[in-house]
Copies of this chain bind each other. A is one copy, B any other.
Amino acid sequence: MNTKKYRVGEGGKLKLSSYKTDETGKGSEAEALARAEERQPKLAALQERLYAEAKQSLLIVLQARDAGGKDGTVKHVLFGLNPQGVVVTSFKAPTPLELAHDFLWRVHAHAPAAGMMAVFNRSHYEDVLVTRVHGLIDQQTTQARYEHIRAFEALLSSRGTRIVKLYLHISKDEQKERLQDRLDDPDKTWKFNLGDLKERDLWDDYTLAYQDALSATSSKQAPWYVIPADHKWFRNELIGQILLDTLEDMNPQFPEADFDPAKVEIR
């Protein structure tokens, strides 16, 4: 599967309307599930090497509209990985202490240590999305924040962190169905937030904010991918493949001993 077509080019000008939300590629759902089962042990083996090597790290940034599938992505794509090597951080509305610092402060604290995989479920990008859509920051501050984000991600990259940023792209109709499902299923109603409806009314503003942010911050070292996410199984398939490709490219190795194992005697 060629994942490059979903990657946002550096310095380009993205239009989300040119990306389909309901793409499913050529295969069927059953084939995708079979491939996911084959992929799982490969991801786990690469994760173990990454952890053992303890030189590089992987940061996965997940952004989406409400009900876009962030939680489901974590649950399904990371299934079967060793929890000792994965840290998922969900960023909520900032606390007073967090607001008393620059917007990258709370995020920096959760950057992955060498050997680790980190997932940001929402991220520093909220500070150029929700804040902008609600008029809390002006155009000048937005541009300045893009610059801060590029510098921040270059810093992480310089210490061996690979960054993969995923925008889960759903249609407005698909969001409606998912929100309705949360209302109809008592075991899912806890995920429903009345505030989500206000954000839904701002759909087009978010589209513009996302286009702008993704265009300004996709780089070779920290690329954005636009993931067609109406079909959960295709979303999982594509993200699983991107993670596998990325880890294979990082090519972590078990470290060699700095002593001669043959000469060690255990009494």
Q: Which residues of A contact B (CB under 8 A)?
A: 52, 71, 74-75, 78-84, 86-88, 90, 119, 121, 176, 179-180, 183-184, 186-187, 189-192, 194, 197, 200-201, 254-257, 259, 261-262, 264, 266-267
User: Given known contacts A183-B261, A190-B255, A194-B259, is B84 in contact with A71 (CB within 8 Å)?
Assistant: yes
User: 4 more A-B contacts (CB under 8 A) besides A183-B261, A190-B254?
Assistant: A52-B190, A83-B87, A176-B266, A192-B264
Residues of B within 8 A of A119 (CB): 83-84
For A191, the chain B residues whose CB sits under 8 A away are: 52
Closest to A49 in B: B187
Chain B residue, CB-CB nearest to A188: B254
Measured CB to CB, the closest approach of chain B to A130, in angstroms, equals 20
List 18 contacting pairs A-B, 8 Å CB cutoff, sorted by A. A75-B82, A79-B80, A80-B80, A81-B83, A83-B83, A83-B119, A84-B90, A84-B121, A87-B87, A179-B266, A180-B266, A183-B261, A184-B261, A189-B257, A189-B261, A190-B257, A192-B264, A197-B267
CB distance from A137 to the nearest CB of B (A): 27
A107-B190 Cα distance, complex, nearest whole Å: 31
Provide the residues of chain B in CB contact with A267, threshold 8 Å. 197, 200-201
Q: Which 3 A-B pairs have the closest CB atoms?
A: A183-B261, A84-B88, A83-B86
Q: In the bound complex, how far is the Cα of B200 from the Cα of A52, in angstroms?
A: 23
- Residues of chain B within 8 A (CB-CB) of A262 are 183
- For A261, give its contact among B87, B88, B192 (CB under 8 Å): B192
Tell me if B79 and A74 are in contact (CB < 8 A): no
Q: A143 to nearest B CB, angstroms?
A: 33
